[in-house]
Structure 1
Amino acid sequence: MKARISLLAQRAAQVLAEPMPHVPSPCLSVCVMDPKTDMCSGCWRSLEEIGAWSRMPDEAKRQVWQRIQQRLTGNGDAC
Structure 2
Amino acid sequence: MNRPANESIESPCIGVCALDGLTCLGCGRSVDEIEAWAQASTAERVAILQRIKMGVTC
> Displacement, 1:40?
0.3
Which of 20, 35, 47 is 1:51 aligned to? Answer: 35
Give the aligned length: 51
Which of 26, 29, 34 is 2:12 aligned to? Answer: 26
Point out where structure 1 has 5 or more consecutive residues left out of the alignment. 1-20
Point out where structure 2 has 5 or more consecutive residues left out of the alignment. none
Higher helix residue share:
1
Which runs of structure 2 are paired with 1:1-79 in the superposition (5 Å)? Answer: 21=5, 22-35=8-21, 38-71=22-55
CA distance in 2, matches of 1:25, 1:49: 11
- What's the Cα RMSD here? 1.7
Give the TM-score normalised by the residue count of structure 1. Answer: 0.59
CA distance in 1, matches of 2:54, 2:19: 18
Deviating 4+ runs (over 3 angstroms): none
Question: What percentage of residue pairs aligned between the two structures are identical?
Answer: 35
Give the TM-score normalised by the residue count of structure 2. Answer: 0.78
